[in-house]
Chains A and B, each alone.
Chain A
């Protein structure tokens, strides 16, 4: 257990905290100063006095929660100082605007990976290798059973899934920010040429991406009173929150699928209640995590969000990398 109070970054009240700078990273409770790695809601909380993020993350956040937040922005790679600590954002490849955050103090480098992936994604900047002494990495999919297929293979599978059932309406559930836009981008390059509709929450994010210069295929905003016939053979993107409950009654003769890394496991696929699962993720798979750890040249590594025990033990035993555990 690592409980060193003098570590530059540590866990405090369930979030990452840099004591010397008095700044929190993706805090789950309101604080004075919050660095935000990306605009997903589980990395953001209302009520902080000041937010700091990349320009893209700031714009996406404001689209989602309104203009009423005080937010300071920096470019990728641009260094800024808080209480004498050098801080910079670097692309993490997770979604548009997502970043790793590097801290430098007294020659000691710390890197928080944020959520990241190495796979190709034309809707955001590619993951950038950053060298560090200490690495704090997520490991959502930190087991070797996770190995992602090429994105275009999944996109072709989705295309086939839709075109094989031309009499049906295909509902594809995915996170409205990031995953939806990546899927749209990929699906538009497949053989599927039918109509694509998207739920309001996704439609809004598509527009934001476009404003930020990302080319996203035009979709039709789905309305409740669409005629069933018109929807036959088309694809509708919906957020997962609508998969259970009465919303689906708006459609007839549907097939459903969920796009998520968890869908690579049959038991989870079966339990999810969707007809089909497409294993596509915006997080790194096992190989991706190992690659990032090695390339970062970190001498000390912390993990959070995932199967920490197995991954840590593997790195210690097989790769002789020093893995530390956070104190709670």
Chain B
């Protein structure tokens, strides 16, 4: 019924490691709460609620101001805790204010649909007063959830899959149906929850919703023992994976992140609506270089993703294309259960029909993916190595006899990615981590040589094991030259192998280059800083590729 119950659920989920127990706890929660609170709980737990009402910094300043707490003391505490919402929760515990009548039974719905949204309508002074008032009236156990929702940082170790499983168990309906119902923009309401737990499956209401995406696994050695003829080969594009749906004449574009993005790509929606058939296509959206017939860099696509209703000039400057891999449904017939090789035949058949029969030209925005035909596995490897030339990330290998199931199913699709580029770089700065890594130095900056100077070229957070992180943390504390707030400059001594996907010129960086997805792949304890790479090496790498 209440925020209190949800706080308990959060604390339970936070302290249970077993998946089965989590499902059980969720199931019981759904059984014992109002539909409206359940719909909000699902909304929060599936991470659809990252709206930030106020920033963590604002929250800390406000606390400092109200309770006359020195800002530096709050900042010191933050370094230990790594989460603004939690710091303030812990500090509130230590605050002896005269407790007013407690709002012990505020419901999740009331908090999320009335109390918090109402804050946005207030002026700053009123808003601050209202937050103070809520802090002092909400029971202590609810402070963490409240602060996290305020700052848009509510997260808990529960995946959408887990929510799907627990609802599936609750009403005894297959997970696929639930995951279908959970896709897209879930608006918390009694109706949306009722729809979610409806035991009758109505195909019509599911009309605009995509199928669960099938994902590729990392390549396994055992695949090379099979005949190459068992597989279909495609380029692995670096764009936005998408399902393009046209049912009853309506077009919907769904990303794998379950976002409906029609508004960002109106030219695609318009062109596709000219096609006479209904269909569901699985494919990739890219910004396309029509002259060379290859994809542009992902960074250009980023200029389109978050822009709704792009102007005509933006549409021309960043021309998009949808490349279809697969046909999942045609004129109301779900064909996911037929073999990939046969779906491909259908896809090619319909595509050529659409090209010739559609009155408007569609091929300037829509094509099907070209297949690659390596003669043997070494040949496949050669293709993979060439993938950088056409701006792809490698190959996708699909079993010809596979059906289109959902999730990261094993033994159906594989990604065979081109090896990353690597440079050996020197660790020069470290910054305290946040969240789970609070209190440890886990954010690192690396430098390359330029003459006799070390120039920063990349920051990386991932790649070290927990044991290595602890060891490095200890070293960092002992080898700090200077502290600037949470950042420490370090004695140049440690060399790391940094891997990344792309390298390009960047005027924004002192080094003049920017790399994509940098990560630590090896702690080169065997190397001295003089063995590290220079910026010149990086420029050479860039030349080799372009």
Contact = CB atoms under 8 A, between A and B. Distances in A.
B48 to A, nearest CB: 22
Contacts of B70: 314, 317-318
Interface residues of B, number: 25
Contacts of A266: 14, 81, 83, 86
A144 B77 contact: yes
B77 A145 contact: yes
Contact of B94 (A270, A286, A313): A286
Given A143-B80, A144-B77, A145-B77, A265 B94 contact: no
A275 B94 contact: no
A49 B264 CA distance: 80
B28 to A, nearest CB: 11
Contacts of A143: 73, 76-77, 80
A310 interface: yes
A267 B83 contact: yes
A307 B75 CA distance: 13
Contact of B435 (A146, A267, A269): A267
A220 interface: no
A147 interface: yes
A144 B86 CA distance: 13
B87 interface: yes
Interface residues of A, number: 25
B17 interface: yes
Contacts of A325: none
Interface in B68-95: 69-70, 72-73, 76-77, 80-83, 86-87, 90-91, 93-94
Given A144-B91, A275-B16, A265 B80 contact: yes
A287 B70 CA distance: 16
B73 A310 contact: yes
A217 interface: no
A275 B76 contact: no
Contacts of A212: none
Interface stretch (B306-314, B436-444, B498-506): B436-444
A267 B82 contact: yes
Interface string A308-323: 0110011001100000
Contact of B81 (A265, A277, A286): A265
B15 interface: yes
A145 B80 contact: yes
28 contacts: A143-B76, A143-B77, A143-B80, A144-B73, A144-B91, A145-B81, A145-B90, A146-B94, A147-B90, A147-B94, A264-B90, A265-B81, A265-B86, A265-B90, A265-B438, A266-B83, A267-B81, A267-B82, A267-B435, A267-B436, A267-B438, A267-B439, A271-B436, A275-B15, A307-B80, A310-B77, A313-B73, A314-B70
Interface of A: 143-147, 264-271, 275-277, 286-287, 307, 309-310, 313-314, 317-318
